């Protein structure tokens, strides 16, 4: 076995890369071990005949400062692409019909009265019930609750069915009855706390300031946008980050199989027999992969890690000639309502949403399947997933002929569910992990989810590891 490493990082997604970046900048020697042959984890961009295919995440929320700060640090600002601000309609497939969500919906909250009143998405009783949010007293001091409970209380059952499940829970591919509102949408909880009502909070925010400008074209041109990516997709960010790290410290094709504790720290054993010793280890791998590794060291910790569900999903990318799609595709895409008997949970019109992601005259669509609605979706073969998404969409988008290409990206047990009480459980996880000196945990599903938060948590975790080995 070679010398003892100060820090070993396991998992080369954005959390592990964030940790590596921070250690490198601080001058702490480290090595990062990743099971796959590529770095980036669920961030996977492929370029295919001029199409920018995002297999996993496709955009970064600009409101979270870590994403833009990283883009700046990596000199990627000139490569920044905002989401389309001209055509932002979101459609919803409900009762067998595709309908446009009213203009001005801020996720689940209407911010423009007239389009909401005129909308054919909600029934009159549903609209009136949503309006009652303005007078329903806030719930105070009763701890966490589910997205469903929050939505039912404030906006009613119809809003839960049409907004809470497909949109709020849909972002996490999850079940609104299980997901924690304070872990997934803390802003909503804060709005209720401060203003007593979501509608009143929205009005107050509108009065206080014009809509906050977030990410622009990066080059000073183009509209401001709340989400951004890069001309060559999110993979550009991974490549730029990796290019800043010492190549010899990045070890792909290394699957961690065993963790042993000794006097000098930890011994990591990898598939194929390689063994590495490190004073501190940062594990940034999903909880289902993590808990068997920690079982010999803290059964209590493992019990808690096992309470964090990770769901499976897949994305199905389809390329078409523009004339093969009758729908105007004048928006970001569509969500489907649970019970519509579609395999597709959501479909992005990527070539509209993200300018430059398809060549001129062509269309890029991306279906999202699985999650809590269909936990066994990955049992379906690729061709069946492609056929299912096309069959779901054909009548609503007017698809004709075969797609120019299709590609399926599978994500087994990679989408964490922050269920009710999540942060209390994570506080206990942190306490128990703290009883194993030199062991640090990061990664989606603990304190963070989404690219900016995961990167930020990786950086913070590296700081703790650096302090430990200093
Ligand atoms: C389909 C999809 C769409 C998403 N869309 C968005 C979006 O638009 N915007 C956004 O901000 N976020 C989005 N997210 C969430 C975001 O991508 C993740 O939260 C984040 O990238 C997770 O990073 P991570 O490093 O924590 O985990 P991962 O990316 O899962 O990385 C973990 C790494 O650990 C490795 N690993 C696992 N076990 C071992 C082992 N035993 N030994 C060695 N290595 C191991 C894996 O191979 C993997 O590379 C999306 C996620 C998915 C799946």
Q: Residues 414-462: pLDDT tens digits? A: 999 999 999 999 999 999 999 999 999 999 999 999 999 999 999 999 9
- Cβ(332) – ligand 1 distance below 6 Å: no
Q: Which pLDDT value is given to residue 111?
A: 85
- CB 451 less than 6 A from any atom of ligand 1: yes
Nearest CA to ligand 1 atom 35: 11
314-336 pLDDT, tens digit each: 999 999 999 999 999 999 999 99
**Which residue's CA is the closest to the ligand 1 atom numbered 7?**
57
Strand 256-262 relative to strand 30-33: parallel, antiparallel, unpaired? unpaired
Atom of ligand 1 nearest to the CA of 451: 11
Task: Check pocket membership of 17 for ligand 1, CB cut-off 6 A.
Answer: no
The Cα 384–Cα 361 span in angstroms is 27
Beta strands 30-33 and 250-251 are: parallel
Q: Which CATH number among 3.40.1010.10, 2.60.40.3880, 3.90.660.20, 3.40.50.300 corresponds to the domain 311-416?
A: 3.90.660.20
pLDDT of residue 37: 98
pLDDT surpassing 70 at residue 209: no
The pLDDT value recorded for residue 119 is 94
What is the Cα gyration radius of the chain? 23
DSSP annotation of 83 reads P
Residue 11 has pLDDT above 70, yes or no: yes
pLDDT digits (tens, 9 = 90+) for 261-317: 998 899 999 999 999 999 999 999 999 999 999 999 999 999 999 999 999 999 999
What's the mean pLDDT in 381-408? Answer: 98
Give the residue-averaged pLDDT of 359-376: 97
Ligand 1 atom index nearest CA of 270: 42
Q: How far is the CA of 324 from the centre of ligand 1 (A)?
A: 34
Nearest residue (by CA) to ligand 1, atom 21, is 451
Q: Is the CB of 415 under 6 A from ligand 1?
A: yes
Q: Kindly indicate the confidence band of residue 2, based on its pLDDT and cuts at 50, 70 and 90.
A: low
Measured in Å, residue 33 CA sits from the centre of ligand 1 at 15
Q: State whether the beta carbon of 367 lies less than 6 angstroms from ligand 1.
A: no
Distance from C-alpha of 421 to C-alpha of 180, rounded to nearest angstrom:
7
State whether the beta carbon of 57 lies less than 6 angstroms from ligand 1.
Answer: yes
Asked whether the beta carbons of 59 and 354 are under 8 A apart, the reply is yes
Residues 31-88: tens digit of each pLDDT: 999 999 999 999 999 999 999 999 999 999 998 999 999 999 999 999 999 998 889 8
45 CB near ligand 1 (under 6 Å): no
What is the average pLDDT across 341-346?
Answer: 95
Whether 105-208 shares its CATH topology with 311-416 is answered no
Atom 1 of ligand 1 has which residue's CA nearest to it? Answer: 56
Q: What's the gap in Å between 133 CA and the centre of ligand 1?
A: 36
pLDDT band at 3 (very low <50, low <70, confident <90, very high): confident
CA distance 107 to 188: 10
Cβ count near 185 (within 10 Å): 21
Structure tokens at 287: 């909880």
pLDDT in tens, 145-197: 999 999 999 999 999 999 999 999 999 999 999 999 999 999 999 999 999 99
Scanning 10-142, the segments in alpha helix (DSSP H) are: 14-25, 65-73, 113-118, 124-131
Mean pLDDT computed over 348-372: 96
Looking at residue 219, what is its pLDDT?
41
pLDDT tens-digit map of 99-152: 999 998 888 888 888 999 999 999 999 999 999 999 999 988 789 999 999 999
Q: Which CATH superfamily is domain 5-42+237-308+418-469 in?
A: FAD/NAD(P)-binding domain (3.50.50.60)
Distance (Å, rounded) from C-alpha 256 to C-alpha 290? 9
pLDDT at 141 (0 to 100): 76
Pocket test for ligand 1, best of 257, 285, 460 (most atoms within 8 A of CB): 285
Do the Cβ atoms of 38 and 252 come closer than 8 Å?
Answer: yes
What local confidence, expressed as pLDDT, does residue 210 receive? 56
Give whole-number Cα distances, 167 to 109, 254, 294, 369, 447, in Å: 11, 37, 35, 14, 22
Domain ranges of the chain: 5-42+237-308+418-469, 105-208, 311-416
Residue that the structure tokens 């479909």 belong to:
347
Residue 205: pLDDT band (50, 70, 90) is confident
Fold of the domain built from segment(s) 105-208: protoporphyrinogen ix oxidase, domain 3 (1.10.3110)
pLDDT of residue 67: 95
| Cα–Cα distance measured from residue 118 to residue 107, given in angstroms and rounded to the nearest whole number | 18
Q: Which residue has the least CA distance to atom 34 on ligand 1?
A: 11
Report the C-alpha gap between 245 and 34 in whole angstroms. 14
pLDDT band at 206 (very low <50, low <70, confident <90, very high): confident
Specify the higher pLDDT residue, 190 or 2: 190
Closest-lying ligand 1 atom to the alpha carbon of residue 254: 43
223 pLDDT higher than 60 = no
**Contact status, residue 358 vs residue 51, Cβ threshold 8 Å:** yes
């Amino acid at each position: 076995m070679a010398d003892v490493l100060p820090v070993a990082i396991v998992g080369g997604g954005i959390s592990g890369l964030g940790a590596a970046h921070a250690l490198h900048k601080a001058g702490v020697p480290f090595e990062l071990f990743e099971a796959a042959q590529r770095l980036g984890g669920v961030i996977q961009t492929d370029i295919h005949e001029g199409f920018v295919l995002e297999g996993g995440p496709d955009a970064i929320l600009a409101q979270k400062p870590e994403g833009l700060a990283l883009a700046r640090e990596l000199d990627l600002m000139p490569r920044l692409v905002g989401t389309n601000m001209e055509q932002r309609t979101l459609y919803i497939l409900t009762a067998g019909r595709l309908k446009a969500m009213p203009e001005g919906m801020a996720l689940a909250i209407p911010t423009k009265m007239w389009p909401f009143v005129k909308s054919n998405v909600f029934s009159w009783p549903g609209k009136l019930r949503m309006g009652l949010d303005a007078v329903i007293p806030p719930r105070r001091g009763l701890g966490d609750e589910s997205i469903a409970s929050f939505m039912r209380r404030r906006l009613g059952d119809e809003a839960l069915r049409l907004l809470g499940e497909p949109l709020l829970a849909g972002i996490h591919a999850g079940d609104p009855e299980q997901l924690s509102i304070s872990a997934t949408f803390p802003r909503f909880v804060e709005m209720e706390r401060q203003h007593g009502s979501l509608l009143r909070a929205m009005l107050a925010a509108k009065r206080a300031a014009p809509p906050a400008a977030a990410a622009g074209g990066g080059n000073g041109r183009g509209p401001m946008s709340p989400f951004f990516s890069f001309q060559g997709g999110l993979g550009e960010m991974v490549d730029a980050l990796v290019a800043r790290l010492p190549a010899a410290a990045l070890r792909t094709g290394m699957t961690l199989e065993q963790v042993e504790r000794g006097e000098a720290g930890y011994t990591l054993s990898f598939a194929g027999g390689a063994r590495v010793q490190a004073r501190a280890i940062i594990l940034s791998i999903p909880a289902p992969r993590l808990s068997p590794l920690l079982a010999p060291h803290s059964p209590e910790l493992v019990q808690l890690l096992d309470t964090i569900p990770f769901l499976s999903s897949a994305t199905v990318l389809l390329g078409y000639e523009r004339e093969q799609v009758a729908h105007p595709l004048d928006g970001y895409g569509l969500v489907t309502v649970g019970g519509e008997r579609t395999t597709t949970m959501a479909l992005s019109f990527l070539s509209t949403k993200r300018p430059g992601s398809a060549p001129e005259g062509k269309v890029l669509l991306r279906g999202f399947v699985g999650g809590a609605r269909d936990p066994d979706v990955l049992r379906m073969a690729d061709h069946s997933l492609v056929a299912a998404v096309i069959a779901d969409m054909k009548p609503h988008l007017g698809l004709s002929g075969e797609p120019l290409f299709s590609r399926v990206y599978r994500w087994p047990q990679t989408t964490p569910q922050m269920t009710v009480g999540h942060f209390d459980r994570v506080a206990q996880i942190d306490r128990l992990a703290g009883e194993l000196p030199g062991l640090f945990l990061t990664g989606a599903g603990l304190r963070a989810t989404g690219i900016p938060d995961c990167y930020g948590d990786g950086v913070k975790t590296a700081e703790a590891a650096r302090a430990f080995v200093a």
